[in-house]
């Protein structure tokens, strides 16, 4: 295995990920009057601030974050299409609370139902999607809990897909942030989460949609999130905002008023953006052209590049040395574009903080018989 070690002295930072140096201080303080809160960096997973982050609490309609995650996973797997038409059941159309007044036996596109959930927190659309995905809300809840278990969430249990009051249903600020992090890996989510005003059409009329997450309009960089409210849960909010290379996720549970939840999350975002940075230490776009030899290929070498960017999150004004180790495997044809041919390992102060795959930028076919003969003659 070929190893190339490149020592980069960068004006980057000290890190707060598990196993890194500890210059990023996790603030255990509440910025408002909520029961629990949590602020994290999306790319690295670094926790910036937390308050009662593991306490099991009612989360109201933030429950729908898990439902949406299952929707997008099914779309990605090809088991669900945004352009598919769903016939709404009587059970779904009769759901109370937040709703878009779906008509019993009415036909609606999946994309309109998902939009209704994301923008207006529609309970009727949520149950309609749960029934489409798994046959019933009960079966959907089982899948939601299985997904929570697979994500190793220790403080989450669902008993419905809407967040409407029901016994034995809870989550925590940290767990909600981690579920939301999984959701926003699906870029299609942002097609709807940034909508401020829209509508959903019925057979003879329409329902106006207004985004319940007011920060989408009033906070610079906020492009997604999910609100929630019941008398038991209080006012809840999960939101994400992106500025430059840095995306943050904030969660508050149990704020006393709607204004308080938006104000507290805004303060959390301000703390993150004002005091921390994300630096790309592996950048796909600026990666210098590198080639690897290909054995038995129609071409002798192929260009490689990192599969994705790698960011280092830390406090502004602090610096550290970063070591990049590039390991390239022996490569034989046939080779597919995007196939892994090695990896980049990133270290901070001797501690590994992440890995990025190196991939081929082209397909390389294997030499046929005559090509092999020609190659032998050339070498001979």
Which positions are catalytic?
A: 61, 64, 121
Q: Which of 249, 254, 230 lies closest to 238, judged by CA? A: 249
Distance, CA of 245 to CA of 278 (rounded, Å): 6
Q: Is the dihedral of CA 133, 138, 141, 146 positive or negative?
A: negative
Distance, CA of 274 to CA of 244 (rounded, Å): 12
Distance, CA of 332 to CA of 183 (rounded, Å): 37
Confirm if 362 and 337 have CB atoms less than 8 A apart: yes
Burial 117-144 (b: 16+ CB within 10 A, else e): bbbbbbbbbbbbbbbbbbeebeebbebb
Distance, CA of 12 to CA of 20 (rounded, Å): 14
Distance, CA of 142 to CA of 36 (rounded, Å): 26
Cα three-residue angle 251-161-149, rounded to 5 degrees? 70
Tally of CA atoms within 13 A in the half-sphere of 369 that contains its CB: 0
Which DSSP letter does residue 126 get? H
Residues 6+ apart with CB under 8 A from 263: 32
């Amino acid at each position: 295995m070929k190893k190339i070690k490149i020592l980069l002295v960068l004006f980057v930072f000290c890190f707060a990920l598990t196993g890194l140096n500890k210059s990023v201080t996790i603030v255990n303080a509440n910025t408002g009057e909520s029961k629990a809160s949590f602020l994290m960096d999306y790319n690295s997973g670094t926790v910036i601030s937390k308050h009662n982050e593991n306490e099991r609490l009612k989360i109201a309609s933030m429950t729908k974050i898990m439902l949406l995650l299952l929707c997008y996973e099914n779309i990605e797997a090809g088991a669900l299409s945004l352009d598919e038409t769903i016939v709404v059941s009587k059970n779904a159309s009769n759901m109370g609370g937040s709703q878009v007044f779906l008509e019993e036996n009415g036909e609606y596109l999946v994309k309109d139902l998902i939009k209704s959930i994301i923008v207006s927190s529609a309970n009727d659309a949520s149950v309609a999607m749960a029934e489409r995905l798994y046959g019933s809300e009960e079966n959907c809840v089982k899948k939601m809990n299985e997904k929570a278990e697979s994500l190793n969430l220790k403080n989450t249990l669902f008993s419905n897909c809407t967040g409407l009051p029901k016994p034995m249903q809870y989550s925590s600020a940290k767990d909600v942030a981690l579920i939301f992090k999984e959701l926003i890996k699906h870029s299609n989510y942002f097609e709807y989460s940034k909508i401020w005003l829209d509508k959903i059409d019925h057979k003879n009329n329409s329902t106006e949609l207004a985004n319940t997450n007011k920060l989408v309009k009033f906070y610079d960089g906020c492009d997604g999130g999910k609100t929630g409210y019941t008398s038991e849960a209080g006012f809840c909010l999960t939101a994400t905002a992106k500025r430059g290379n840095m995306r943050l996720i904030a969660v508050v549970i149990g704020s006393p008023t709607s204004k308080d939840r938006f104000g507290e999350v805004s303060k959390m975002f301000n703390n993150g953006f004002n005091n921390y940075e994300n630096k790309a230490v592996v950048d796909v776009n600026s990666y210098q052209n590198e080639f690897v030899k290909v054995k038995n290929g129609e071409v002798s070498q192929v260009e490689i590049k990192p599969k994705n960017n790698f960011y280092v999150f830390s406090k502004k004004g602090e610096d550290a040395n970063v070591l990049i180790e590039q390991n390239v495997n022996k490569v034989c044809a046939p080779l597919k574009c995007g196939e892994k041919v090695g990896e980049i390992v990133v270290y901070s102060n001797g501690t590994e903080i992440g890995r990025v795959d190196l991939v081929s930028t082209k397909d390389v076919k294997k030499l046929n018989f005559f090509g092999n003969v020609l190659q032998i003659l050339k070498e001979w």
